[in-house]
Amino acid sequence: MFDSGVGGLSIAKCIAQQLPHENIIYIADSLHAPYGEKSVKFIIERVNHIAKQLIAKGVKAIVIACNTATVNAIEQLRAQVNIPIIGVEPAIKPAAKQSISKKVAILATQATSENQRFKDLIDLHHNGAQVLIQPCPGLVEFIEQGKQNSDACNALLKQYIDPLIEQGIDTLVLGCTHYPFVQKQISIIAGQQVTIIETAAPVTVQLSKKLVEKEIDACKKQQGQYQFFSSLETKQQEEIFSQLWQEPLTLHALEPY
Ligand code: DGL
């Protein structure tokens, strides 16, 4: 699995809990985060480079644990490789379905917000609900730096969420895998009347389905082993990883471009 940085750990944790026999190799491209503020061409180049490294390590499936990379690069990657590629996309369908006020909002990166595949997804699944898209520049950086509990991060969250609440949303979709790491803060700002929806559980179900379908799911006797790589391999990064993973871990360096 991979993400632009630490965000995908929110998905990895769920996979490790639900599919404890599977080995996971996690790559964070933290040196190049945030992807949300990069060009489509750049995102595609990084996705292909990282996928190549994962395939060289012998993986049987790839989870793109990043909404921005999924909407911008999954199709071209699937056209190049013949192992299952599972993506992460904002959970618009369940959000629109459960909204009573028929007003939902999606917090996403700039690059996801502008993406046509993402807009098509909304057109397909809005189910009569009004969907407000809120790009959140700056938020990923706080989480990458381990500053998600700072006053400055909280102020930025308020700036993005308060206007959505004023407009009467009752459902908020976390359209970036970094955002579950500020879910507590989001939920305090949004209030109890707002349901927050994220995607780790459905992605895990989808991965499991694919592995079983292809008969490549892990033997139930083995305990999954986890390896973590980053393009920004520093002591500080290792500490941030360990904090979000909720266990000490070793961060290895990803081979440079
Ligand atoms: N975690 C990512 C996502 O789900 C990307 C964040 C970023 O690098 O901007 O969109």
Please give, one letter per residue, the 3-state secondary structure of 42-90.
HHHHHHHHHHHHHHHCCCCCEEECCHHHHHHHHHHHHCCCCCCEECCCC
Residue 34 CB burial class (10 angstroms; 0-12, 13-18, ≥19):
buried
**Has 68 been labeled as part of a binding site?**
yes
For residue 125, the 8-state DSSP code is H
Over residues 60-100, the pLDDT tens digits come to 999 999 999 999 999 999 999 999 999 999 999 999 999 99
> Residue 255 has what pLDDT?
80
Q: Is the pLDDT of residue 202 over 90?
A: yes
Catalytic machinery residues? 66, 176
> Residue 25 has what pLDDT?
98
Pick 2-88+200-253's CATH classification: 3.40.50.1860, 3.40.470.10, 3.30.1490.20, 1.10.10.60.
3.40.50.1860
Q: Which of 3, 145, 231 has most ligand 1 atoms within 8 Å of its beta carbon, as the pocket-test mutant?
A: 3
- The mean pLDDT value for 186-190 works out to 98
Instruction: Please confirm whether the linkage preceding 34 is cis (ω < 30° from 0).
Output: yes
In the CATH hierarchy, which fold is given to the domain comprising 92-197?
A: Rossmann fold (3.40.50)
**Strand, coil or helix: what is 227?**
strand
CA of 222 to the centre of ligand 1 (A): 32
- The mean pLDDT value for 252-257 works out to 83
Distance of alpha carbon 129 from alpha carbon 81, whole angstroms: 37
Is the C-beta atom of 35 inside 6 A of ligand 1? yes
- Among residues 177, 200, 157, the alpha carbon closest in space to that of 33 is found at 177
- The mean pLDDT value for 203-212 works out to 98
Q: Which of 30, 144, 177 has most ligand 1 atoms within 8 Å of its beta carbon, as the pocket-test mutant?
A: 177
**Has 4 been labeled as part of a binding site?**
yes
Distance of alpha carbon 45 from alpha carbon 252, whole angstroms: 21
Percent of the chain at pLDDT > 70 equals 100
Over residues 100-159, the pLDDT tens digits come to 999 999 999 999 999 999 999 999 999 999 999 999 999 999 999 999 999 999 999 999
Distance of alpha carbon 139 from alpha carbon 48, whole angstroms: 25
- Among residues 42, 8, 27, 45, the alpha carbon closest in space to that of 111 is found at 42
Quote the tokens at residue 102.
């028929």
Distance of alpha carbon 43 from alpha carbon 72, whole angstroms: 7
Quote the tokens at residue 143.
């989480």
Distance of alpha carbon 53 from alpha carbon 15, whole angstroms: 21
Mean pLDDT over each residue of the chain, to the nearest integer: 97
Is the C-beta atom of 177 inside 6 A of ligand 1? yes
Q: Is the pLDDT of residue 257 over 70?
A: no
Distance of alpha carbon 59 from alpha carbon 68, whole angstroms: 22
Give the pTM.
Answer: 0.97
> Residue 256 has what pLDDT?
73
230's enclosing H/E stretch is strand 226-230
**Has 3 been labeled as part of a binding site?**
yes
**Strand, coil or helix: what is 174?**
strand
Residue intervals of the chain classified under CATH 3.40.50.1860 are 2-88+200-253, 92-197
